[in-house]
Structure 1
């Protein structure tokens, strides 16, 4: 059988556009002589559709879209597409997450997802009923083990074949399908990107092939929907676990594979075909570019004309701006520098140089008149108090007001520039530098921002981001001589703590023991993270590129106090408490 792998970029809710994409590749598949075309999980609705699935009218429209796909599919070609299907029984959630076989103008067969993820960014149990049993789909004389995304993630073998000591689910759909005697595994996925995820998926598929002696077709969604970025990475692996074809990352792809000659193909060196290969920094860069591009494109025509970036002369705004230009083009990015009384001339010069190097429109709007006006207005109330964070943040908020005014006036999407290190510890100003519609670097630690800057310059073959921006000490420039390290540990130390506390869920005691860092320092960082939860709830959505990003995949209470009961029954405060208040730095 000739099978077309169709790695498409659907948009959540855009049923008409998604149908057009499916039919476009269906026609390509028919022209290439394919008998079956495979598309991603929930490609009819886009992933994740979230509470759109609660709307009866939306589900009626989904049914209409599926009917149209079946009717318009080329003669002689069957389609495997992902869509929600109503649960007609009187028990359970009202929908299944299904793979539908469309042929001859109708739905010929369907199988539904069993393993419904409900962790991190996933919440499928909220909407879907799990399928209790496995069934083989026969088509063209081939017994297909069709399953969806998470269904392949509970196999018994781990990396290099070692036994996994823990399984998240009781069922193993892959093993159950193999026991039914399938000729080919076919997985429809909507698996979001995180650094290291493409290699992990390859290994999961490889071990399934080797364990059961069955080749594997994997088709994943590509594109970005709000905070989630989907890398694609669709592939074919042989029964021995060799990669026969691998799609490029972060772009749509199409490939036809013949099951009759799986062993005759030369194994693909995957690293040469993936965007960036083993270079994680390049991979993250391209993920962020796709995230910005699709956020602007998928919000609809005429919503955002251009992207707007406040340029401080610092590394974060420079990298954000460079990513925006790579995503949208220089003609659709506007940079604004807003010097205050404490801004160095170098910061303004670096901002201007960056804009010239990128070829973007550039404006200078001094905020000193606004800051002075606020100072005069607040002077009677603040009389007799020491200047401090409140006065510093008036500057940040004046910049936020300025940028939002420009955004409103010209329909520009304001990109916030804070990185994950700052977002973690609250080193950002509510309604100031946190103002905006999309946080590009919110899941990139500060140390990795520097790596991204070097990558941008290396890819361009010149210093697009000025060397002085990369080498100067980072500073908010809200008071004379200020640097970030006046308030925070060095970023290499801070990030080493944060990656363990935020992504690894380790306790301060465990972090101090592992790293050798001073326990008081680790406790202080943990307290800053916990106390800043209220800020993160008010932040713009951030593009997810790590296994644990701030946003929908990390849910902690804002109002809490971490205590424990000692052996004697007394209450004892645990490091990191309380979380209900924070310093607006």
Structure 2
């Protein structure tokens, strides 16, 4: 029986921290060796971190990447396990690559063939595509090497590896960013891919946050019939070891002969003999972790994004303006889960328009979380602004100007605390507000990281509800869920004075932003035409605000950030 023991190092690297990433790799190597593994797979570009972006243009970065690859190779000298690790290969150009390490040497290199250049990806800006397949040989077992996008391509190089070269396993080093539903999509896709080509797949995905991207892990091993052998935890580091019965490949091919009629491309191939399979005296039982429900999945992504952005950028504590509303409440619970209550500071900044219930809700939330709070009123400062501007404003009625002054005073308070104590300001605006411009530039938009900038208002409520259920008690006060949302910048103000009900607004925004529908197509789905035009115009007119907003965790299929590149200067109006 052909049995291959594979270990997947689902780890969280830090971009540019070669020393830290090397330490993680060496620890994983020790574990894989102790477990008697034949093959150890790391994520895509694990040694330098992903995505390196314009660090790719620094020769010093490329040289360090090569130096640490050779250092890791030296640690394999007395090991029997074969290592596949992501790094940047460079000679006359740069390549997104995987190195084969064993016996203290680099035995081979595979260069990624299919480079994504859509959504958040810019790989063709930095890398040249590879042109050669790489197959590892262990006794009579063949393993094809691929990197991330290679396996998402519908046909190649999977067809050439499985049908042309007859590999038993396709190993995939991946850094696949998260969006809502991606874990389930990936799981179903790879199962079907393995079934279609009658080849087992071992897919090792990165975990952790890098600026606005988060990687969810969820590493996968499926056999040639498409059966899930192992599924890793999401948003957690994990070393996964699996025993694969590769006789299943032949059995599936005999029972389902469809693949005999597929003609793969004739790519050049390099075969690297890495020695024989190791003798095994034990068996690793497969573990398939469940995929969490939607709200839990989103929450874990947001917690990971905050934790890694704060920690990887050298901050310890964060500060949040607590209004007693739903958005700041959710940001506070996310920050507390990510960093611990001792590292989260809340600031209440009441004005003459702040309701008693809002103050009580904010204080109750802070007590429930156990976070320290400060109360710094803005009323006197606001009055001094009005007094200073009264001659210039003479003859004009109060309007949004006075509302924005209040928001900017609060932004100044938070930034002053940040400067004085080194706390990172977390902004609290959601995607519905950012899309429509219902936010104050240099006011409530002021800060270093926008935690829920890619979460629609309706989802903010859903995640908040889930959180209280998960905790088994009322952390976010019930009144926060039931009271009408309001910025409380003037008497009796509510969000719905300027925006449609969020249940309708969010559906229009999703169709326009994520699905790319035109206003006319959105209206045909039953939405009021006038409302659709007003909403899409708000999106167009407020691009200048979004360009100046803090970055935040991407959890949707299309977020305002890397995968939204609309011009600010733009007179095109969507026809209806």
With the length of structure 1 as denominator, give the TM-score of the two structures.
Answer: 0.90
Residue 371 of structure 1, aligned match among 374, 377, 382: 382
Determine the C-alpha separation between the residues in 1 that align with 2:449 and 2:105.
41
CA contact (8 A) 2:159 2:197 kept: yes
Determine the C-alpha separation between the residues in 2 that align with 1:135 and 1:423.
46
Corresponding residue number in structure 2 for 1:500: 511
Corresponding residue number in structure 2 for 1:86: 90
**Alpha-carbon RMSD:** 1.5
Determine the C-alpha separation between the residues in 1 that align with 2:64 and 2:398.
59
CA contact (8 A) 2:5 2:38 kept: yes
**Residues 309-368 of structure 1 deviation map (CA, whole Å, 9 limit, x = unaligned):** 100000000000000000011111000010011110111111000000000001110011
CA contact (8 A) 1:155 1:175 kept: no
Determine the C-alpha separation between the residues in 1 that align with 2:81 and 2:523.
60
CA contact (8 A) 1:526 1:575 kept: no
CA contact (8 A) 2:172 2:203 kept: yes
Corresponding residue number in structure 2 for 1:228: 213
The 5 Å alignment of 1:28-47 reads: 28-47=31-50
Determine the C-alpha separation between the residues in 2 that align with 1:296 and 1:401.
21
1:214 correspondence with 2:199: yes
Corresponding residue number in structure 2 for 1:15: 18
Residue 199 of structure 1, aligned match among 159, 184, 193: 184
SS in 1 for 2:320: strand
**Residues 28-67 of structure 1 deviation map (CA, whole Å, 9 limit, x = unaligned):** 1111111221100000011111111110111111111001
CA contact (8 A) 2:243 2:284 kept: no
Corresponding residue number in structure 1 for 2:432: 421
**Residues 449-491 of structure 1 deviation map (CA, whole Å, 9 limit, x = unaligned):** 0001101111111110000011100000011000000000000
SS in 1 for 2:496: helix
Corresponding residue number in structure 2 for 1:335: 346
Corresponding residue number in structure 2 for 1:482: 493
Corresponding residue number in structure 2 for 1:287: 301
Deviates more, 1:72-81 or 1:504-513: 72-81
Determine the C-alpha separation between the residues in 1 that align with 2:422 and 2:211.
18
CA contact (8 A) 1:453 1:465 kept: yes
Corresponding residue number in structure 2 for 1:543: 553
Corresponding residue number in structure 2 for 1:461: 472
SS in 2 for 1:500: helix
Change (3 A) 1:140 1:558: farther
**Residues 198-233 of structure 1 deviation map (CA, whole Å, 9 limit, x = unaligned):** 111112211111111111100000000111000001
1:297 correspondence with 2:311: yes
Shift of 1:425: 0.3
Change (3 A) 1:389 1:342: same
Residue 3 of structure 1, aligned match among 3, 6, 21: 6
Deviates more, 1:231-240 or 1:69-78: 69-78
Shift of 1:246: 0.7
Corresponding residue number in structure 2 for 1:312: 323
SS in 2 for 1:64: helix
1:52 correspondence with 2:55: yes
Gaps of 5+ in 1: 89-93, 157-171, 563-572, 577-585
Shift of 1:513: 0.3
Corresponding residue number in structure 2 for 1:566: none
SS in 2 for 1:136: strand
Aligned residues: 537
**Residues 269-302 of structure 1 deviation map (CA, whole Å, 9 limit, x = unaligned):** x5xx24xx351111000111111111111113xx
CA contact (8 A) 1:109 1:137 kept: no
Change (3 A) 1:419 1:427: same
1:253 correspondence with 2:242: no
Residue 553 of structure 1, aligned match among 551, 560, 563: 563
The 5 Å alignment of 1:126-141 reads: 126-139=125-138, 141=140
CA contact (8 A) 2:119 2:563 kept: yes
Corresponding residue number in structure 1 for 2:543: 533
Shift of 1:261: 6.7
CA contact (8 A) 1:149 1:188 kept: yes
Determine the C-alpha separation between the residues in 2 that align with 1:39 and 1:265.
19
**Residues 128-166 of structure 1 deviation map (CA, whole Å, 9 limit, x = unaligned):** 00112323222454211110000111225xxxxxxxxxx
Residue 243 of structure 1, aligned match among 202, 214, 228: 228
Determine the C-alpha separation between the residues in 2 that align with 1:50 and 1:506.
30
SS in 1 for 2:43: coil
CA contact (8 A) 1:242 1:267 kept: no
Determine the C-alpha separation between the residues in 2 that align with 1:494 and 1:175.
45
